[in-house]
Structure 1
Amino acid sequence: MSLKLKGFPIKEAQAFLKTIKKKQELDFDAYLETSKQVIVNHHLKHNPFYRDLAKHADVNDWDTLPVMTKYDLQQPLEQRLSNGFSTKNIFINKTSGSSGTPFVFAKDKFCHALIWSNFMDRYSWFNLDLNRSKQARFYGIPLDKKGYYKERIKDELSNRFRFSVFDLSDEQLAKNVEKFRNTSFDYINGYTSSIVQFAKYLEQKHIVLKTICPSLKACIVTSEMLFTTDKTLLEKQLGIPVINEYGAAELGLIAFQNQKDEWIVNTEDLFIEILDDKNNALPYGEEGRVVITSLYNKAHAFIRYDLGDIGMLSNISTPQKPILKKLIGRTSDLVKLPSGKKAAGLTFYYVTKTIMENSGNVKEFIIEQLKLDTFKISYVSKTSLTEKHTTEIKKAISKYLEPNLVVNFERKEKLTRSKSGKLKQFSSYLA
């Protein structure tokens, strides 16, 4: 309903998704090659940004198409849109900045509706209906008045209740338990680390959530790594299946765990490659960069887009059924504060919104917790952050975490990356 109200053609997208599945069943290879060729030709013809990026490529040789990076996209959005699209007829959003390289992106309305159709299809594997199933949502929420109430209205329309990830104290978690006791939730969805902290609290109190909220069917974790030990804890304390979801704001659903614990890669509207450092495709079972093509986004090119994650496809994968076996990246530490409060590391997603600019001034940034009350923000930019910017960031950190924290800034030529090439947005050096 909320998609319809915003003018997204959800019914048409659902019907088209069924058409895609039929084409895949008849001849998957033909479907994939045709879809790849169509989207590349569209952007070469209608998108000046992509035409310039791929000017030396051979359209008949996929491997010659350039691998797009987040750096390539750090320029004003209007310069990256296809002809016929403007800010008035597209869906616009910002990446979370979890990779440390934020940018604004767009999708055409049909593409966005198709992405949601895919989510609806996957949720149905576990008898969850996005139109009717009540969601317990462990996500962040903007704390400014306009943003806060906008999200609350969206939650109401989407039949969900949002639990705070900014406060994971025992007092707040006790309130969470009471909300579950008095509400018929169908499923849990949200940041892995927040739900794990909730499960640890349940373990301390010897509570299995399903016993006090019998309507619960499943828990879907997303945005952060799910480790085996954490999954075991979640299944024990929640008393329901734990489903691993892998997605990205700019692309939608990338992989979703089925009832056999297989992490099934989305082949309906995406094409996923695992590449080495020289952009060569790696065989199943080898670890490399996750590079993705959005097959139906006509407003904005995401063709051979390097997401910034490292992953591996299972040896038993096939082109029609790729199975994600391993994913490295987007892990997030907990933030611990002088007051004793704890918060999810992705809290900094809401802080980074204050330094996101369409001009792309800030290219990369990382946030480090050096002491209980001391944080350091290192960044790479065209120009130094002004005093106004740093003051805004400090205010945001005070609002989302707590007052009287020390925040230092350091502009650098480049930032140190991990061995995998990943740039971790938040790191804590507390014992």
Structure 2
Amino acid sequence: MFKIFDLTLQINGFPMQKAKSELQKIIAIPEEEYSHFIEQKKLEIVNFHLNNNPFYQELVGTESLKNWSDLPILNKRNLQKPLKERLSSGYTEKSIYLNKTSGSSGDPFIFAKDKFCHALTWASNIYRFGWYGIDFNSSYQARFYGIPLDFIGNKKERFKDFLSHRYRFQIFNLSDKILERFLNDFKTKKFDYINGYTSSIVLFAKFLQQKNIVLKTICPTLKVCIVTSEMLFDEDKILLEKQFGIPVVNEYGASELDLIAFQNPEGEWQVNSETLFVEILDENNTVLPYGKEGRVIITSLYNKAHPFIRYDIGDTGILDEKSTPKKTILKKLIGRTNDIAILPSGKKSPGLTFYYVTKSIVEDDGNVKEFVIKQTKIDTFDIEYVSKTELNLEQIQKIEAAIALYLEKGLVFTFIRKEKLERSKSGKLKQFVSLLQ
């Protein structure tokens, strides 16, 4: 069969064959040699950035690595400066993969990966989805994700959907009328799998529950549902499996890194130990043993364009006591949940919709450091933000236009600049909070 997905990545400069070959070599490393492999990759990536990345040299303050534990913890605040100041020597914005984080944690920034590193990310995705019989070249995806609504951004994303063999369900409006349309699409299209934001997929399952419909009975081609970006609670997983009639797989990833953990067919949340090194630290940056709860700190072992070394992703978690260097199991993840916004028209929008709204103020100059949106009344929202300079009228008008586009007209927004924002006990900044629920 013609592999249009692989070919598209190859045409865009991502060396997929080389990446797939590298991944297979890593997977083949025996358990007893794996610890040595990880230590070698850690040393290689740190030395590379100490020699080739002025931003990282300044952050570390030394030219050589003595002890891994002496390396600073990199946080999202460190990265809120123009990308060209963070790129490694020899890399330009034209020679890399460039993107923005979702800002779901309230700390958005622009990041980069070198093309081989990004190809490895895709190779890792392809490998893990393959556990469930999913092939990106041929399997048809029901995609519950946001999409830019501006003309060019929308067309680009739709074209990518076409090349990736996926059909996108817009999740900015999840009223019963819209969910009825979703249901009709499942009756007429031969989807192989569902993939997307947890909260949106759970809302769809609740709609099916009200109608007493099991999705597999009207779309028998469905094999698996893979949820991402937000927490999947146990009761929601039970609901999804009941109403969809298929296995539900929990994915934990970050766009700036890779797939971090992916539920394997044995039901374990298996950490991606091929391209990442995951540590759990306490508040004093001491490494905690397996079984202890702490901050999730991640090192990207292959990204040479931009350092993600001992990077605090903003989540709290526990690694299972039965973990090994090769097969590390994430026992628990705390965080990554967003509320649903209910609007005057009856429209329901997941909290992640606000990523698309606030994207209009996330600029590469790093002015807006953090933001959180609070729904105080059905038509009233506060946007609290931390920035070097106050938002100007032009920026506010941009946000208001995005609100009308993604949500609905007639909503009242108040902009409140703050010195710092309130965080949860885990240190997580919840981007959207509804005070109505």
TM-score (norm 2): 0.97
Aligned to 1:203: 209
Aligned partners of 2:191 and 2:221 also within 8 Å: yes
Quick one: which of 225, 228, 244 aligns to 1:222?
Answer: 228
CA distance in 1, matches of 2:378, 2:141: 34
Equivalent in the alignment of 1:9: 15
| Residue ranges of structure 1 left out of the alignment (5+ in a row) | none
Q: 1:324 aligns with which of 312, 326, 330?
A: 330
> Once the two structures are aligned, what percentage of the paired residues are identical?
61
Superposed displacement of residue 22, structure 1: 2.2
- Give RMSD over aligned pairs: 1.0
Partner SS, residue 259 of structure 1: coil
1:234 paired residue number: 240
From the superposition, tell whether residues 24 and 95 of structure 1 become closer, same or farther in structure 2 (CA, over 3 Å): farther
Correspondence 1:401 to 2:425: no
Could you say what secondary structure the match of 2:79 adopts? coil
Q: Distance in 2 between matches of 1:334 and 1:421?
A: 21
Give SS of 2:40's match.
Answer: helix
Assess, with a 3 A threshold, how the Cα gap between structure 1 residues 368 and 24 changes in structure 2: closer, same or farther.
Answer: farther
Aligned match of 2:126 in 114, 120, 126? 120
Contact conserved, 1:2 with 1:154, CA < 8 A, in 2?
no
Alignment correspondent of 1:164:
170
Q: CA deviation at 1:19?
A: 1.2
1:397-422 Cα offsets, whole Å, 9 max, x none, are: 11100000000000011111111111
Q: 1:5 to 1:179 in 2, by over 3 A?
A: same
Question: Please, which moves more after superposition, 18-27 or 150-159?
Answer: 18-27
1:101 to 104, 107, 115: 107
Distance (whole Å) between structure 2 residues aligned to residue 58 and residue 347 of structure 1? 43
Q: 2: CA distance between counterparts of 1:416 and 1:341?
A: 28
Match in the other structure for 2:308: 302
> What displacement does 1:2 show?
2.2
Distance in 2 between residues matched to 1:10 and 1:189, nearest whole Å? 22
Write the distance in 2 (CA, Å) between the matches of 1:381 and 1:364: 7
* Separation in 2, partners of 1:287, 1:337: 37
Counterparts of residues 364-403 of structure 1 (less than 5 Å): 364-403=370-409
Matches within 5 A, 1:10-49: 10-25=16-31, 27-49=33-55
Q: What residue in structure 2 maps to residue 184 of structure 1?
A: 190
Corresponding letter in the other structure for 1:322? T
Which amino acid is the alignment partner of residue 229 of structure 1? E
1:250-291 Cα offsets, whole Å, 9 max, x none, are 001000001111000000000000001111001111111110
The Cα of 1:25 is off from its aligned counterpart by 4.3
How many angstroms apart in 2 are the aligned matches of 1:312 and 1:200?
30
Instruction: Supply the distance in 2 between the matched residues of 1:43 and 1:87 (Cα, whole angstroms).
Output: 17
Instruction: Please tell me the residue identity of whatever aligns with 2:39.
Output: E
Measure, in 1, the Cα distance between the counterparts of 2:31 and 2:90: 33
Once the two structures are superposed, residues 219-239 of structure 1 have per-residue CA deviations (whole angstroms, 9 ceiling, x without a partner) of 000000000000000000000
Q: Note the C-alpha offset of 1:56.
A: 4.4
CA distance in 2, matches of 1:347, 1:193: 11
| CA offsets 1:35-91 (integer angstroms, 9 cap, x no match) | 000000000001111011111486131000111011111110001011110011000
1:391 CA drift (Å) = 1.1
Match of 1:424 among 426, 430, 433: 430
**Structure 2 unmatched runs, 5+:** 1-6
Matched AA of 2:115: K
Distance of 2:107 and 2:63 partners within structure 1? 26
Deviation, 1:24, is 4.7
Given that 2:50 and 2:63 are in contact with CA atoms closer than 8 Å, whether structure 1 keeps it comes out as: no
Deviation at 1:319, TM superposition (A): 2.0
Q: Which residue of 2 aligns with 1:281?
A: 287
- Look up the SS of the partner of 1:180 in the other structure: helix
Structure 1 residue 59 corresponds to structure 2 residue 65 = yes
Counterpart amino acid of 2:327? K
Code of the residue aligned with 1:42 in structure 2: it is F
Q: Deviations over 1:131-163 (max 9, x none)?
A: 111000000000000011111000000000000
TM-score (norm 1): 0.99
State which of 130, 155, 166 in structure 1 corresponds to 2:161.
Answer: 155
Shift >2 Å, 4+ stretches: 22-26
* Distance in 1, Cα, partners of 2:183 & 2:103: 31
Do the aligned partners of residues 236 and 57 (structure 1) sit closer, same or farther apart at CA in structure 2, a change above 3 Å counting?
Answer: farther
Aligned residues: 431
**Conserved? CA contact 1:57–1:66, under 8 Å:** no
For 1:57 and 1:243, locate their aligned partners in 2 and report how far apart those are by CA, in whole Å.
43
User: Which residue number in structure 1 is paired with residue 251 of structure 2?
Assistant: 245
Separation in structure 1 between the aligned mates of residue 311 and residue 324 of structure 2, nearest angstrom:
21
Alpha-carbon contact 1:57-1:65 (below 8 Å) kept = no
Report 1:353-364 matches (<5 A): 353-364=359-370
